Structures are given as structure tokens and as C-alpha cells.
Amino acid sequence: MKCTQDSEGIISFKLSKPLFIAYDGKGTKGMAEKVLGHILWLLKEVQKLVKIMSSELEVLKQRITELEAENVEIVELRKENAELRKENTDFRMKFANLEFEKAELKHRIAETLKMTEEERTRRDAENVKLRVTIKELKSENIKVRDRLTKVEQNQLLNDNSSNNSSLASLQYQR
């Protein structure tokens, strides 16, 4: 027996095999009682099926409600997942840009360090030359001072002898 429910909720039953009732020909009352007994049996079986199907129907309705709630949640999760994927893509692009900037900065730092090292080497060489020049100038300065001292001493001697001769001539003239 198959039991179905249409869209309006009306339940119908269909027997899987045709029902044959055999009459033995002994009177209609007995036959009617026999047919009614079969009908009562069929109605009881149908009632059992209706109860089973009603409980199954309630379980199925509950499951449908659960699945619909899950579907709503799945839709929301898919939206959130799409947003997170977009955000992830944005972060990947930002990360790639930062990596590029990092590489550029490393290159610039390397160039700056190279230029700084070249400048330091040039200044060190210049400082060595300046130190040599300073030593030479100090040596020359000492020589010039020595000569100046000698010239001043000679000048004093000359001045003294000139003064002495002037004095002598003054004294002589007096």
C-alpha cells in the first residue's frame, strides 16, 4: 500500500496489488460481514500508515526547517567568505607592494652604503694628504721661525752697532 499527500494536504492510498474478495455464496449477510471486516482491517491499516506518515512528515518538516536555516547560514558564510577572499587578495597586493618597497629600500641602502664607503675612503686619503701637508707646514714654520729669530738677532745686532756708532758720533760731535 502506498500513501501520498497532495498539495492541499489530502491523503490518498493506493494498494500495491488489487484486492479480491472471494464469496462462497452462503448468504449476503455473511458476505457483507466478511467485506466489512476486510474494510475495517484496511481502515485500521490505513490509520496506522497515516500515523506513521504524519510522524515522518513532522520529522521531515522539522528537518526541512533545519536545512533552510542551514542554507541561510551557508549563504551568509559564502558572503563572508567572498569578502574575506577579497580582503585576502587586497592584503596579498599590499604585501607584494611592501615587498617591492622593501627591495627598493634595501637597494637604496646598499647604494648609500657604497657611496658612504667611497666618500669615507676619499676623505681618509684626503686626510692623509692633509696630515702630510700639516707636517710639512709645521716643519717649514719651524724653519721660518728659526730664520726669523736669526734675522731679528742680526737686526738687533745691527741696530745696536748702528746705535753705538750713532752715539759715538754724537758724543764725538759734542
Calpha distance 76→85 (Å, rounded) = 14
Is the confidence at residue 170, as pLDDT, over 90? no
Q: What is the pLDDT of residue 23?
A: 55
Element (H, E) at 71: helix 28-173
Q: What is the pLDDT of residue 53?
A: 84
Q: Do 3 and 15 form a contact (C-beta atoms < 8 A)? A: no
8 A C-beta contact, residue 46 and residue 2: no
More confident residue, 168 or 152: 152
User: β-strands 2-5, 11-14: how paired?
Assistant: antiparallel
User: pLDDT tens, 120-167?
Assistant: 999 999 999 999 999 999 999 999 999 999 999 988 888 777 766 666
pLDDT at 24: 58
Total-model pTM: 0.43
Whether the Cβ atoms of residue 25 and residue 72 lie closer than 8 Å to each other: no
Residue 52 reports pLDDT greater than 60: yes
